[in-house]
Amino acid sequence: MTHIFRLLSVLLLLAVPSVALAQQPLQVDIARGHLEPTPIAIPDFITAGGTDTRGADIAGVIAADLESSGLFTTVDPRAFIENIQDFNLRPRFQDWRVINADALLIGQVTRQSDGRLLVGFRLWDTRLQEQMVGLQFVTAPENWRRVAHRVADAVYERLTGESGYFDTRVIYVSEGVGPRGEPVRRLAMMDQDGANPSFLTDRSYWSLLPNYSPSNQQITYVSFLDGQATTYVYDLESGRQEALFASGGTGLARVDPDGQSLSARFSPDGEQLAVSIELQAGHDIHLFDLRSRNLRRLTEHPADDVEPSFSPEGDQIVFSSSRSGGSQLYVIPVNGGDAQRVSFGAGRYTAPVWSPRGDLIAFVKQHNGQFSLGVLDAGGSGEERILYQGYYVDTPAWSPNGRVILFTRGDRGRDGTEYEIWSVDLAGFNLQRMPITGQSSDPAWSPLIE
Amino acid sequence: MKFKLVLIAGMTAFLAACASTPPQTTTEAPTQEPPRTTRTETPGPVDQGPVPGTEAHFVATAGDRVFYDLDRSTLTSAGRETLRRQADWLNAYQGVNILIAGNCDERGTREYNLALGARRANAARDYLVSLGVSPSRIQTVSYGKERPSCRESGERCWSLNRNATTMISGGVTG
């Protein structure tokens, strides 16, 4: 299913001696960088040995990654003066300063005798004339895109001080209509930049609301394979999947289903699922221990408690509930205690997702016929910030570093709402459509792939 | 307790409910062709009114759906009236089992609507049970906002899509 590979070696290149200058090193402000994106020059990676080493393709993927963050702008290669031929020589910095390249990324690809690619890069601060980071990777040629994403992550991390998110994948729901007009909902998977799309489930049943495990090896999703919404755990390596509930107690939870079960999210240690399960009196949040297979009821209220999400420490869960009338957001400790309301603005709040940093909760708000994507203070102050407003919003998904949110955006179409996955950064800037063919929804963003 | 659904029955009912394009088309078989195997649909039967005990009869005499107010799962008086007719019909055709599907408009998040749809289906089921229909004859399912019977974006369609739809799932008797 997923092709996991290991980058065989990651070596720090020896820093080339530099001239020390009393200047600030190049730094990209992640909160304000979009106002003045940092210019970076990325020449095609040099082909040092062999042919067809994808030096230009690798540079292209890195450039697209960095530009997609909104924090960088790449300098037009037609403006380049120096034609770098030797990866190990210090660049002529003046040539890069005059074309306003604050950063210069040069790289080299070598096809080794064993057929694998050796990809090395150096990131230069052109003003300080210093190497900021240099790494090299060895990998099978078919993994060249992943190496490019790893380089982009290293550049992003060095310049912003925060971990990157380019070597990641997105699982989502591909929405369509079958030959007889029936709705089709299939799980699909792609690289974060839209490359390598593939389907995980077929069109014979609906697949909805996927979520990643922290180990990257499994997902949960809601399947209609058994006729009604049922939580499934799906192993990405083997393609094997198991229902949380199945009649006769044959599911993971070993109890008969009482009703439907909905989206499940993994605890940060990967050992538990938080999931909303329908009982006679409505939906309540439950904790399912994947090892002991013990199912524990966490909330007990006649109103529907749905859409649970763990805090990054794993000690609290945020969920949405109609217990006070319209849907609002509540936080409940995992080990006992009352639920505290954390949303207070006008409108109905749904789809809460705790940020990987812990301080914010992303949400969807519905008010006066408009939908908003926002973030609010997880501490309960009620303070919130709207990042996007439009006709329809659902299912926020955080980037692993907590700086970008993917979400389902709906717009009024000829045949009802049309759904696409969009991204926006935490400041509400850099709104972009994900490059997916056809309608799509329910993004789940993978952890950084090891 | 719920059971596995009869998907085919549900799909057929859904298509019938759409009512815009009937799934079968009537085609005359060519008469002057040399003898060979031709493959065309059998012409549709002439409508003589629904056969008693069938889903079409159920829809014609009782009505197959009840509607809900925005964001609500409580039955309206019109909804209760429809369900009383459904209960009368079901009590007359004791061999028939039903599937009640709860549906929602598209103006809410996916999971929220799956929960709301379940409430709508359950509210209809509970009322039928209170009118003497055995719970063992009734399955429920929520389709949330995934299966709208009306597809345009606007209040007219949204109000039609906020419903619980009763479908014959098996055991039809004449």
Confirm whether A391 is domain-assigned: yes
**Mean per-residue pLDDT of chain A:** 93
Looking at chain A, the whole-number percentage of residues with pLDDT higher than 90 is 86
Task: Please report the pLDDT score of residue B149 as a whole number.
Answer: 93
- Both tokens assigned to A299: 């909330």
Say whether residue B71 is in contact with chain A using an 8 A CB cutoff.
Answer: yes
For residue A214, which of A298, A312, A143 has the smallest C-alpha distance?
Answer: A312
Confirm whether B15 is domain-assigned: no
Check pLDDT > 50 for residue A415: yes
Q: Which residues of B touch A276 (CB under 8 A)?
A: 111, 115
Closest CB to B151 among A350, A410, A415: A415
- pLDDT bucket at B45, cuts 50 / 70 / 90: low
Calpha distance A9→A280 (Å, rounded): 55
Angstroms from B125 CA to nearest CA on chain A: 12
Confirm whether B1 is domain-assigned: no
Confirm whether A420 is domain-assigned: yes
In a shared domain, residues A156 and A176: no
Calpha distance A264→A309 (Å, rounded): 8
In a shared domain, residues A152 and A258: no
Confirm whether B8 is domain-assigned: no
In a shared domain, residues A183 and A243: yes
CATH of the domain at A91: 3.40.50.10070
Kind and range of the H or E element at A389? strand A384-390
- pLDDT bucket at A17, cuts 50 / 70 / 90: very low
Tens of pLDDT along A399-409? 999 999 999 99
Check pLDDT > 90 for residue B5: no
Check pLDDT > 60 for residue A6: no
In a shared domain, residues A71 and A100: yes
In a shared domain, residues A93 and A174: no
Confirm whether B18 is domain-assigned: no
Task: Please report the pLDDT score of residue A7 as a whole number.
Answer: 41
Confirm whether A297 is domain-assigned: yes
Contact A412 B153 (CB under 8 A): yes
Q: Which of the listed residues A114, A133, A160 is the one where a domain comes to its end? A: A160
In a shared domain, residues A143 and A246: no
CATH of the domain at A409: 2.120.10.30
Closest CB to A247 among B3, B107, B118: B3
Task: Please report the pLDDT score of residue B104 as a whole number.
Answer: 98
Q: Which of the listed residues A160, A195, A222 is the one where a domain comes to its end? A: A160
Confirm whether A45 is domain-assigned: yes
Tens of pLDDT along A337-353? 999 999 999 999 999 99
Q: Are A84 and A43 in contact (CB under 8 A)?
A: yes
Confirm whether A3 is domain-assigned: no
Confirm whether B113 is domain-assigned: yes
DSSP of chain B: ------HHHHHHHHHHHH-SS-S----PPPSSSPS-----PPPPPPP--PPTTSHHHHHHHT-SEEE--TT--SPPHHHHHHHHHHHHHHHHSTT-EEEEEEE--SSS-HHHHHHHHHHHHHHHHHHHHHTT--GGGEEEEEEETSS-SS-SSSHHHHHHHSEEEEEEEE----
Check pLDDT > 70 for residue B15: no
Calpha distance B146→A136 (Å, rounded): 48
Task: Please report the pLDDT score of residue B49 as a whole number.
Answer: 83
Confirm whether A197 is domain-assigned: yes
- pLDDT bucket at A61, cuts 50 / 70 / 90: very high
In a shared domain, residues A194 and A246: yes
Confirm whether B32 is domain-assigned: no
Check pLDDT > 90 for residue A136: yes
Calpha distance A435→A422 (Å, rounded): 9
CATH of the domain at B160: 3.30.1330.60
A231 to chain B: closest CA residue:
B111
Q: Which of the listed residues A114, A129, A160 is the one where a domain comes to its end? A: A160
In a shared domain, residues A201 and A116: no
CA atoms A120, A123, A129, A130: torsion sign: negative
The listed range with the strongest mean pLDDT (A45-49, A255-259, A279-283, B112-116) is B112-116
Instruction: For residue A205, give its domain range.
Output: 169-445
For residue A421, which of A187, A170, A196, A202 has the smallest C-alpha distance?
Answer: A170
Number of structural domains chain B divides into: 1
Cα–Cα–Cα angle for B119, A259, A274, rounded to 5 degrees? 100
**Mean per-residue pLDDT of chain B:** 83
Number of structural domains chain A divides into: 2
For residue A30, which of A427, A431, A447, A428 has the smallest C-alpha distance?
Answer: A427
Beta-sheet pairing, A72-74 with A38-41: parallel
CA atoms lying within 13 Å on the CB side of residue A176: 15
Task: Please report the pLDDT score of residue A377 as a whole number.
Answer: 97
**Whole-number CA gyration radius for chain A:** 24
Count of pairs with CB atoms under 8 A, one residue in A, one in B? 105
Cβ neighbours of residue A113 closer than 8 Å, sequence gap 6 or more: none
Confirm whether B31 is domain-assigned: no
- Both tokens assigned to B102: 């709860």
A364 to chain B: closest CA residue:
B109
Tens of pLDDT along A159-200? 999 999 999 999 999 999 999 989 999 999 999 999 999 999
Task: Please report the pLDDT score of residue A450 as a whole number.
Answer: 67
pLDDT, average across residues A64-84: 97
pLDDT, average across residues A74-93: 96
In a shared domain, residues A184 and A122: no
Tens of pLDDT along B52-86? 989 999 999 999 999 999 999 999 999 999 999 99
Instruction: For residue B127, give its domain range.
Output: 52-170
In a shared domain, residues A132 and A248: no
Task: Determine the residue type at A183.
Answer: P
Tens of pLDDT along B102-143? 999 999 999 999 999 999 999 999 999 999 999 999 999 999
In a shared domain, residues A75 and A175: no
Confirm whether A4 is domain-assigned: no
- pLDDT bucket at A20, cuts 50 / 70 / 90: very low
Q: Are A442 and A394 in contact (CB under 8 A)?
A: yes
Kind and range of the H or E element at A12? strand A10-12
Task: Determine the residue type at A433.
Answer: R
Q: What are the angstrom distances between the C-alpha of A275 and each of A395, A442, B85, B122? A: 15, 16, 38, 20
In a shared domain, residues A221 and A358: yes
Calpha distance B170→B166 (Å, rounded): 12
pTM here is 0.88
Check pLDDT > 80 for residue B14: no
Beta-sheet pairing, A328-333 with A370-377: unpaired
Calpha distance A59→A75 (Å, rounded): 12
Tens of pLDDT along A201-243? 999 999 999 999 999 999 999 999 999 999 999 999 999 999 9
Confirm whether B29 is domain-assigned: no
